[in-house]
A and B are shown apart, each in its own frame.
Chain A
Amino acid sequence: MNNNEKSLTELNAELKYLTPENVQFDLTQGGFVVAKLQGEDSFKRVYLNRIFPHDLEEEFISVTDADSNEYGIIRSLDLFDERTAGVIRHELERKYFSAKITKIVSLEERFGNSVWVVETPQGTRMMTLKDTFKSIIRIGDDRAIVIDEDANRYEIESLSALDRHSFRRIELYL
């Protein structure tokens, strides 16, 4: 047990956390996130990745350069002031954007493929799923991600919150 605890602390020490003390974030005119790390004298473009994209949207954010070399991890956006948090949140939302399906207008299957017409806050969209069963990924009991043939991702935030008709259409594939 003791050994275990020790090794965990050691592992912990390997993670480099980015805090307001050791990093400054900013937004360029072009709309991209840049950062100035402690000990460096200029801002450079950084790339943000959610480590647990399904569970934690604003915690454990990995900050890397263009080649995926990690500068460090943001433990939580709460640590940063509202403006900085907003800049990071905006970029994360862009990166992880997937249209939220609010209504399934129609869903028809022919020869193993299915054609969907869905409504999202971003507009109505028609899409094709190659293998319907495999293209719907359940996350927990109530969420689902739908991936179309071109690898576009759509999210159903709550299956139980879908209207009756929409749910009926998707039910068979869950």
Chain B
Amino acid sequence: MKNTQKPPYEPMMKIPSEISEIFERKGILPSAIRLFYKSDMGESLEFCDTWVVLTGSELAVLEVLGGIFPRKTHNAFDMRKTKTDIVERSFRVYSLEEYEGFHAEELLSGGRVVAVNKDTGLDTLVFNFSNSAKDGACLICRAVEDDGVTQDELSGEKRDRPHGDGPRPKGPDGTGDGFFKKVKSGETKRILTKLVPFFLKYKRETAIVFVMVVLSSALGLLSPYMSGSFFIDKVLRDKNSGFYAQIGVAIAIIAGTKLLSTVFTMIHSIVTAKISARVTYDLKKTIFEAIQKHSLGFFSSRQTGGLMTQINQDSRSLYWFFVDGLPYFVTNIIQFVAIVIILFAINWRVTLVTMIPVPIFVAIRRSLYRLRRKIHARNYSKSRSFNSFVSDILSGNRVVKAFSHEELEQKKFDKRNYAYADSVHDGTVKANWFIYPVKQLLELGTFAAWALGGYMVAKSTIDGTYLFTYGTLVTYVSMLSMAYAPLDFFNNFSNQLSECMNAAHRLFEIMDSVPEVRDRDNPTVPDTFEGEVEFRNVSFEYVKNRRVIDNVSFKVKKGETIGIVGHTGAGKSTIVNLIMRLYDVTEGEILIDGHNVKDLSMSFIRDKIAIVSQETYMFRGSIADNIRYAVPTATDEEVIAAAKASGAHDFIIKYPDGYNTQIGFGNKGLSGGELQRVSIARAILKNPQILILDEATAAMDTATEQRIQKAITEITRGKTTIIIAHRLSTLRDADRLIVIEDGKMTESGTHVELLQAKGDYYKLYKMQLDALKLIGVEE
């Protein structure tokens, strides 16, 4: 494959001529088509091309058979397609005068577009789509009423995929079929090139390792000669050699080379040990930095466990490449080639025979490797299931005990434990069945050398012709085993190399991808900060076309306390995430002191805002350390003052270790309310201009809540405060309230105004009041 090859899919900006011809026959001229879109499912749920076109007055749906299919080969990366003739299957037209309210209904695996018949008021199925074609389906529905939708939007992201094609991973830029650009054959080369800078960082050390490896293997090559040809032939036999009977000198030479070789190996080991720690450190740092710079969306779409493995395992794989992989690979190649040449030079006839097992060995080894990989994968999957079970039960131990299910869990444990042991046992037994016989195969070569060589030595002794001397034979045989040694290395090398390439690829993917939320060039850093927040027609979607916040506008003046009320899942916390710029708005704008948050430096915003949320996370360390996380330079007095203000002080001093009590890592020590108070202390210490309390006091009893609120009121005097709560009593001090339902702002005003309006707030208020009455509490 050449690098100049075009990407497999071009954006589809035109309807294929075969399709537009069919539409034309149906009376829809190409000039009348405003927008078009291709769905991937037919009326009766089979995968087929369904073309949808929108004109000024109607929406037409054409299902066709045939088209472009993925080829049925055993190579999923075979990008060639089979094209078959297109045959019309069904055609339907929905007049926009007759139908309205086009919308997509989501089902489990895809969905359907439904329209309402104006006469009968009944829903009608327009067409089906799979999840891969969902975005377009939603867009074309919107396009019926919204002239703003363009063909670019419809064709832009999704490429013209042959039907039957599912999704592809996105490229580093977040769009398109990046995956396929990656799997091109040039990819490995590209990754290797990118790894070079890492490599160069340790060029001195790597060079030393290289030289030492080369030297010690060169000496290694010498040793069979020394103990064979040299010692036996020259010292013991050849009276004319000059070394004859000089046993002391000979032993000294042999011992000298051995000693030298040991010194080289020693230097190599020391240098390797020295750089290995540094390379691993460096790689982990690089990976961690790459991960850290990403916005929250990146983390919520990945599991923390996966990222941790990535930091650990990937750095190990990459390290292998630098320190063990490349130097040995090069020297092994040199060594193998050199030995084979020497062997041929010593005796080409014998060498021709002894090399016969090599290709056979390599072939068998390859298939064995596949077997081993399979066994390994099976073990891995069993151990995964075992581990996740153990960690699940241990973390849920309280529940297990509460339901006294220890025995049941023990049984489940036994089952998984046994399954794992069984698969390991099975795998090891199987592997041993093969590995030893295969190793014997190479011995055949050695036997052949002994037999043929021995015959020649014996014959030459009789004839007096020196085809092969005894010493040369000894040298030959020990060299032969040295030639076989790198074979296994090469076998493992390719596997480990691919492992390393995967790791490098993952690393570069994270390093190269641009964080979704990032500072623009030269972000604004205002001199003063007032703390005014304004939402202007803000809409936001985490997932495309699923709005979580829909056209919300409000303004919080400096020093004002505003309450956000709404049911669980209404979108309250999302509003906070948007103010903090953990995500970027989809539409509209958020202004802080009149600046668009996108123009402000992120660290500036986050410096001025403190947030206490429902989730409290404590890092490992003392309580004081955790409070000080907000302002690392805070004095002890300030830490205590903050804890006092949040009501945390009282419980902290009750602990024997006081502020030095170690917490974190599962937060075993503190109760929910206590944790919450510590995190409020953290926010208070930061002394922010804008304080956001996101259900911060939800875990506390009303008395504690009131006490903390009092403290907060004191501290936040003159500062902008946003309080989110579903318990309305939490919001009694708010100057104004905003009611959010289903992402929309339905009401806003003061408590009294909202009660008079008798809207959603009134309903919520009554409901909570009734609940209180029910348990005998009157407000």
Contacts and interface: CB of A to CB of B under 8 A. Distances in A.
Contacts, number: 140
B542 to A, nearest CB: 14
Contact of B131 (A31, A122, A152): A152
Contacts of B378: 171-172
Contact of A28 (B123, B162, B502): B123
Contacts of A151: 109, 131
A75 B160 CA distance: 45
A127 B108 CA distance: 17
Given A107-B76, A149-B169, A153-B109, A30 B46 contact: no
Contact of B108 (A148, A149, A153, A174): A153
Given A32-B123, A125-B47, A126-B164, A106 B109 contact: no
Given A28-B122, A31-B125, A106 B107 contact: no
Contacts of A31: 124-125
Interface residues of A, number: 47
Interface stretch (A6-14, A16-24, A55-63, A112-120): A112-120
A96 interface: yes
Interface string B57-97: 00000000000011011111100000000000000000000
A127 B164 CA distance: 8
A32 B125 contact: yes
A37 interface: no
A111 B130 contact: no
A128 interface: yes
A32 B117 CA distance: 13
A75 B502 CA distance: 51
Contact of B169 (A113, A152, A153, A171): A113
A49 to B, nearest CB: 10
B166 A125 contact: yes
B132 interface: yes
B377 A122 contact: no
Nearest to B501: A111
A117 B72 contact: yes
A150 B124 contact: no
A126 B125 contact: no
B76 A116 contact: yes
A104 to B, nearest CB: 10
B182 A97 contact: no
Given A31-B125, A117-B76, A150-B132, A97 B107 contact: yes
Contact of A126 (B76, B123, B130, B374): B76
A105 interface: yes
Nearest to A138: B385
A115 B123 contact: no
Contact of B179 (A30, A113, A116, A154): A113
A124 interface: yes
A106 B76 contact: yes
Contacts of A148: 132, 166-167
Interface string B376-416: 01100100100000000000000000000000000000000
Contacts of B166: 116, 125-128, 148-150, 152
Nearest to A98: B109
Contacts of A32: 114, 122-123, 125
Contacts of B168: 128, 149
A148 B74 CA distance: 19
A29 B119 CA distance: 13
B330 to A, nearest CB: 26
B179 A128 contact: yes
Contact of B48 (A116, A123, A133): A123
A162 B438 CA distance: 33
A87 interface: no
Given A96-B107, A128-B168, A171-B378, 20 more contacts: A30-B117, A32-B123, A97-B110, A105-B72, A105-B73, A106-B74, A108-B75, A111-B502, A114-B76, A115-B77, A123-B164, A124-B47, A125-B47, A125-B70, A126-B164, A150-B131, A152-B110, A172-B374, A172-B378, A174-B381
12 contacts: A98-B109, A105-B73, A111-B505, A112-B506, A122-B46, A122-B47, A124-B69, A124-B164, A148-B166, A150-B131, A154-B109, A172-B373
